[in-house]
């Protein structure tokens, strides 16, 4: 019975086919991706749109301008390491998992 092919609908509304034995794992991955997508879209909505003044956003800046280059690079490395450690625990990576600080959102 585990070798039976089944159809399911993913979070994007597409009809997909997989083996019954893999269905639970695939659905968990799909839920994880859709949850991360909704989290990133809510973060995008919170960001100010173009034309915001530097003074208003200075409270929210993570990288103050007065940091030395070495300190800024170390903070960036720590952030990268944290994201990579999170990726190690995953069974499979999606391209959005490795888009470290990319300027554009896809």
In the chain (106 residues long), the average pLDDT of successive 10-residue segments reads: 84 88 90 83 61 46 68 88 84 74 67
The pLDDT, as a whole number, for residue 64 is 59
The pLDDT, as a whole number, for residue 49 is 52
> Rounded to whole angstroms, how far apart are CA atoms 22 and 2?
8
The pLDDT, as a whole number, for residue 7 is 93
Closest to 21 (Cα-Cα) out of 1, 35, 40, 41: 1
Burial class (CB in 10 A: 0-12, 13-18, 19+), 1: exposed
Which structure tokens are listed for 48?
A: 């100010």
The pLDDT, as a whole number, for residue 60 is 45
């Amino acid at each position: 019975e585990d070798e039976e092919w089944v159809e399911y609908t993913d979070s994007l509304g597409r009809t997909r086919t997989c083996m019954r034995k893999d269905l639970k794992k695939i659905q968990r991955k799909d839920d994880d991706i859709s949850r991360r997508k909704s989290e990133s879209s809510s973060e995008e909505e919170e960001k100010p749109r173009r034309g915001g003044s530097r003074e208003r956003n200075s409270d929210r800046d993570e990288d103050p301008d007065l940091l030395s280059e070495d300190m800024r690079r170390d903070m960036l490395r720590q952030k990268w390491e944290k994201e990579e450690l999170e990726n190690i625990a995953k069974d499979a990576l999606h391209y959005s998992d490795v888009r470290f600080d990319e300027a554009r959102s896809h």
